[in-house]
Amino acid sequence: PQEIFLKNYKVPEYYFDTVDLKFSLGEEKTFVHSQITVFPRVEGASSPLVLDGKDIKLLSIKVDGKELKEEDFYLDPRHLTLSSLPSTRFTLEIVTEIYPQYNTSLEGLYKSSGNFCTQCEAEGFRKITFFQDRPDIMAKYTCRIEADKAIYPVLLSNGNLIEQGDLEGGRHYALWEDPFKKPSYLFALVAGQLESRDDTFITRSGRKVSLRIWTPAQDIPKTVHAMYSLKEAMKWDEDVFGLEYDLDLFNIVAVPDFNMGAMENKSLNIFNSKLVLASPETASDADYAAILGVIGHEYFHNWTGNRVTCRDWFQLSLKEGLTVFRDQEFSSDMGSRTVKRIADVSKLRSYQFPQDAGPMAHPVRPHSYIKMDNFYTVTVYEKGAEVVRMYKTLLGSEGFRKGMDLYFRRHDGQAVTCEDFFAAMRDANGADLSNFLLWYSQAGTPLVKVTSSYNAEAQTYSLKFSQEVRPTRGQLVKEPMFIPVAVGLLDKNGKDMPLISVYHDGMLESVKKNGQPVFTTVLQVKKKEEEFVFSDIPERPTPSLLRGYSAPIRLDSDLTTSDLFFLLSHDSDGFNRWEAGQILARKLILSLVADYQQNKLLVLSTEFVHGIKSILSDSSLDKEFIAKAITLPGEVEIMDMMEVADPDAVHAVRNFVRKKLASELKAEFLSMVERNRSSEPYVFNHSNMARRALKNIALAYLASLEDPDITDLVLHEYQSATNMTEQFAALAAIAQNPSKIRDDVLADFYSKWEHEFLVVSKWFALQSTSDIPRNVENVQKLMKHPAFDLRNPNKVYSLIGGFCGSPVNFHAKDGSGYQFLGEIVVQLDKINPQVASRMVSAFSRWRRFDETRQNLAKAQLEMILSTNGLSENVFEIASKSLD
Contacts with ligand HT7 by CB under 6 A lie at 119, 121-122, 259-260, 262-264, 297-298, 301, 320, 373, 376, 834
Distance CA 294, CA 286 (A): 12
Q: How many residues bind Zn ion (CB under 5 A)?
A: 2
Q: Is 34 helix (H, G, I), strand (E, B) or coil?
A: strand
Q: Quote the least distance from Cβ 376 to Zn ion, whole Å.
A: 9
Distance CA 657, CA 588 (A): 9
**Which amino acid is it at 646?**
D
Which of 385, 760 has the CB closer to Zn ion? Answer: 385
- 18 and 139 Cβ atoms separated by less than 8 Å: yes
Which of 418, 589 has the CB closer to Zn ion? Answer: 418
Which of 373, 624 has the CB closer to ligand HT7? Answer: 373
Distance CA 100, CA 118 (A): 9
- 59 and 66 Cβ atoms separated by less than 8 Å: no
- 666 and 705 Cβ atoms separated by less than 8 Å: yes
Distance CA 855, CA 861 (A): 10
Which of 323, 704 has the CB closer to Zn ion? Answer: 323
Binding partner of 825, given ligand HT7, Zn ion, none, CB within 5-8 angstroms per partner class:
none
The H or E element spanning position 249 is strand 249-255
Distance CA 581, CA 589 (A): 12
Which of 319, 426 has the CB closer to ligand HT7? Answer: 319
Which of 262, 710 has the CB closer to ligand HT7? Answer: 262
Distance CA 305, CA 326 (A): 12
- 188 and 251 Cβ atoms separated by less than 8 Å: no
Q: Is 77 helix (H, G, I), strand (E, B) or coil?
A: coil
Distance CA 9, CA 270 (A): 30
Q: Quote the least distance from Cβ 802 to Zn ion, whole Å.
A: 24
Pairing of strands 501-504, 507-510: antiparallel
Q: Quote the least distance from Cβ 297 to ligand HT7, whole Å.
A: 6
The H or E element spanning position 392 is helix 384-411
Binding partner of 315, given Zn ion, ligand HT7, none, CB within 5-8 angstroms per partner class:
none
Distance CA 165, CA 294 (A): 34
Q: Quote the least distance from Cβ 798 to ligand HT7, whole Å.
A: 18
Residue 474: Cβ within 10 Å count: 12
- 464 and 531 Cβ atoms separated by less than 8 Å: yes
Binding partner of 545, given ligand HT7, Zn ion, none, CB within 5-8 angstroms per partner class:
none
Q: Quote the least distance from Cβ 186 to ligand HT7, whole Å.
A: 9
Burial class (CB in 10 A: 0-12, 13-18, 19+), 572: middle
Which of 110, 728 has the CB closer to ligand HT7? Answer: 110
Q: How far is CA 752 from the centre of its chain?
A: 31
Binding partner of 860, given Zn ion, ligand HT7, none, CB within 5-8 angstroms per partner class:
none
Residues ≥6 apart with Cβ < 8 Å to 135: 183, 184, 185, 309, 310, 311, 312, 313, 415
Q: For the CA atoms of the chain, what is the radius of gyration?
A: 28
Distance CA 814, CA 118 (A): 42
Pairing of strands 483-490, 542-545: antiparallel
Residues ≥6 apart with Cβ < 8 Å to 605: 588
Distance CA 830, CA 876 (A): 16
Which of 213, 672 has the CB closer to ligand HT7? Answer: 213
39 φ, ψ to 5°? -140, 140
Q: Quote the least distance from Cβ 320 to Zn ion, whole Å.
A: 5
587 φ, ψ to 5°? -60, -45
Binding partner of 121, given Zn ion, ligand HT7, none, CB within 5-8 angstroms per partner class:
ligand HT7
Binding partner of 119, given ligand HT7, Zn ion, none, CB within 5-8 angstroms per partner class:
ligand HT7
Contact positions with Zn ion (CB under 5 A) in 98-137: none
Q: Quote the least distance from Cβ 238 to ligand HT7, whole Å.
A: 20
Quick check: is 298 catalytic? yes
Q: Quote the least distance from Cβ 373 to ligand HT7, whole Å.
A: 5
Which of 791, 813 has the CB closer to ligand HT7? Answer: 791
Number of helices (H), then strands (E), in the chain: 29, 33
Binding partner of 122, given ligand HT7, Zn ion, none, CB within 5-8 angstroms per partner class:
ligand HT7
Q: Quote the least distance from Cβ 121 to ligand HT7, whole Å.
A: 5
Distance CA 296, CA 228 (A): 11
Which of 184, 582 has the CB closer to ligand HT7? Answer: 184
- Sign of the four-CA dihedral 601, 605, 608, 610: positive
Q: Which of 123, 298, 320, 624 is catalytic?
A: 298
69 φ, ψ to 5°? -75, 150
Q: Quote the least distance from Cβ 301 to ligand HT7, whole Å.
A: 6
- 770 and 782 Cβ atoms separated by less than 8 Å: no
Binding partner of 834, given ligand HT7, Zn ion, none, CB within 5-8 angstroms per partner class:
ligand HT7
Binding partner of 263, given Zn ion, ligand HT7, none, CB within 5-8 angstroms per partner class:
ligand HT7
Binding partner of 287, given Zn ion, ligand HT7, none, CB within 5-8 angstroms per partner class:
none
Binding partner of 259, given ligand HT7, Zn ion, none, CB within 5-8 angstroms per partner class:
ligand HT7
Which of 320, 640 has the CB closer to ligand HT7? Answer: 320
Q: Quote the least distance from Cβ 120 to Zn ion, whole Å.
A: 14
Distance CA 789, CA 793 (A): 9
Of the candidates 725, 804, 708, the residue with the CA atom closest to the CA atom of residue 762? 725
The H or E element spanning position 451 is strand 447-455
Q: Is 97 helix (H, G, I), strand (E, B) or coil?
A: strand
Binding partner of 197, given ligand HT7, Zn ion, none, CB within 5-8 angstroms per partner class:
none
Q: Quote the least distance from Cβ 669 to Zn ion, whole Å.
A: 39
Contact positions with Zn ion (CB under 5 A) in 319-338: 320, 323
Which of 31, 376 has the CB closer to ligand HT7? Answer: 376
Which of 301, 570 has the CB closer to Zn ion? Answer: 301
* Interaction mask 291-320, Zn ion, x per CB under 5 A: -----------------------------x
> How would you label 380-392 residue by residue, b for 16+ Cβ within 10 Å and e otherwise?
bbbbbbbbbbbbb
Q: What angle do CA 802, 808, 813 make, to 5 degrees?
A: 120
**Residue with nearest beta carbon to ligand HT7:** 260
Q: Quote the least distance from Cβ 560 to ligand HT7, whole Å.
A: 42
Residues belonging to the active site:
298
Contact set with Zn ion (CB under 5 A): 320, 323
